[in-house]
Structure 1
Amino acid sequence: MTTVFAPLTRPVSALLAKLRIDPFIAAILLTVGVASLLPASGGTATGFGIAANIAVGLLFFLYGARLSSKEAVDGLKHWRLHVTVLSATFVLFPLLGLAASFLSPGLLTSPLYTGVLFLCLLPSTVQSSIAFTSIAKGNVAAAICSASVSNLLGIVLTPLLVALLLSTDGPGVSGQAVLDIVLQLLVPFVAGQLARRWIGGWVSRHSAPLKLVDRGSILLVVYTAFSEGMTEGIWHKLDLGPLFVLLGVCVVLLAAVLTTTSVGARLLGFERADRITIVFCGSKKSLASGLPMATVLFGHGQVGLIVLPLMLFHQIQLIVCAAMARRYARQAAADEPGELVPAS
Structure 2
Amino acid sequence: MRIPFLDGFLASMLGAICIAALFPQLGVSGGALHLDHVTQVGVALVFLLSGAGLSVDRLKAGAANWRLHLFVQSFTFIVFPLIGLAVTALVGRWLPRELVIGFFYLCALPSTVSSSIAMTSMAHGNIAGAVFNATLSSLIGMVLTPLYISLFLSTAAHGAPLSDQFVKIGEQLFLPFVVGQLLRPWVGDWIAKHKTSVGKVDRTVIVLIVFNAFSDATAAGIWTRYGVTPLLLTALFAAALLAVVLTLTRFTAERLHFGIEDEIAAVFCGSKKSLAAGAPMAALIFGSGGALGLIMLPIMLYHQIQLITCSVIARRYAARPGVAH
TM bracket, shorter-chain basis: over 0.9
- For residues 148-177 of structure 1, give each alpha carbon's deviation from its aligned partner in whole angstroms, at most 9, with x where no partner exists: 000011011100111112355465343323
Equivalent residue runs for 1:250-261 within 5 Å: 250-261=238-249
Partner of 1:278: 266
- For residues 28-63 of structure 1, give each alpha carbon's deviation from its aligned partner in whole angstroms, at most 9, with x where no partner exists: 111111111122347435722111110110001011
Q: Does the Cα contact within 8 Å between 2:29 and 2:216 map onto a contact in 1?
A: no
Q: Does the Cα contact within 8 Å between 2:35 and 2:212 map onto a contact in 1?
A: yes
Partner of 1:85: 72
Distance 2:228 2:16 in 1: 21
The 1:141–1:42 alpha-carbon spacing in structure 2 relative to 1, beyond 3 Å, is closer
Q: CA offset at residue 267 of structure 1? A: 1.2
Partner of 1:13: none
Q: How many residues align?
A: 317
Distance 1:171 1:27 in 2: 32
The 1:161–1:43 alpha-carbon spacing in structure 2 relative to 1, beyond 3 Å, is closer
- For residues 250-295 of structure 1, give each alpha carbon's deviation from its aligned partner in whole angstroms, at most 9, with x where no partner exists: 1111111111110111111211100000000000000000011111
Partner of 2:192: 204
Q: CA offset at residue 106 of structure 1? A: 1.9
Partner of 2:305: 316
Distance 1:65 1:325 in 2: 30
Q: CA offset at residue 26 of structure 1? A: 2.2
Distance 1:42 1:249 in 2: 30
1:27 paired with 2:5, answer no
Deviates more, 1:226-235 or 1:256-265: 226-235
Distance 1:21 1:46 in 2: 27
Partner of 1:102: 89
Distance 2:250 2:47 in 1: 31
TM score, norm. by length of structure 2: 0.92
1:230 paired with 2:218, answer yes
Counterpart of 1:135, as a letter, is M
**Matched residue SS, 2:319:** helix
Q: Does the Cα contact within 8 Å between 1:125 and 1:281 map onto a contact in 2?
A: yes
Q: Does the Cα contact within 8 Å between 2:29 and 2:288 map onto a contact in 1?
A: no
Q: Does the Cα contact within 8 Å between 2:125 and 2:260 map onto a contact in 1?
A: yes
Partner of 2:151: 164
Counterpart of 1:321, as a letter, is C
Partner of 1:112: 99
Q: Does the Cα contact within 8 Å between 2:106 and 2:273 map onto a contact in 1?
A: yes
Equivalent residue runs for 1:31-110 within 5 Å: 31-39=16-24, 40=26, 41=28, 43-44=30-31, 47-110=34-97
Q: Does the Cα contact within 8 Å between 1:89 and 1:124 map onto a contact in 2?
A: yes
Q: Does the Cα contact within 8 Å between 1:132 and 1:321 map onto a contact in 2?
A: yes
**Matched residue SS, 1:265:** helix
TM score, norm. by length of structure 1: 0.88
Distance 2:145 2:300 in 1: 17
Partner of 2:234: 246
Counterpart of 2:304, as a letter, is Q
Distance 1:43 1:162 in 2: 26
The 1:304–1:174 alpha-carbon spacing in structure 2 relative to 1, beyond 3 Å, is farther
- For residues 103-160 of structure 1, give each alpha carbon's deviation from its aligned partner in whole angstroms, at most 9, with x where no partner exists: 3442111111110000000000001000000000000011001100000110111001
Distance 2:78 2:60 in 1: 24
Partner of 1:14: none
Q: CA offset at residue 332 of structure 1? A: 4.5
Q: Does the Cα contact within 8 Å between 1:137 and 1:332 map onto a contact in 2?
A: no
Distance 1:296 1:24 in 2: 22
Distance 1:34 1:310 in 2: 20
**Matched residue SS, 1:217:** helix
The 1:44–1:76 alpha-carbon spacing in structure 2 relative to 1, beyond 3 Å, is same
The 1:315–1:173 alpha-carbon spacing in structure 2 relative to 1, beyond 3 Å, is farther
List alignment gaps of at least 5 residues for structure 1. 1-16, 336-344
**Matched residue SS, 1:237:** helix
Deviates more, 1:324-333 or 1:143-152: 324-333
Q: CA offset at residue 333 of structure 1? A: 5.3
- For residues 223-247 of structure 1, give each alpha carbon's deviation from its aligned partner in whole angstroms, at most 9, with x where no partner exists: 1111122222222222333322222
Deviates more, 1:182-191 or 1:169-178: 169-178
Distance 2:235 2:305 in 1: 9
List alignment gaps of at least 5 residues for structure 2. none
Q: CA offset at residue 334 of structure 1? A: 5.9
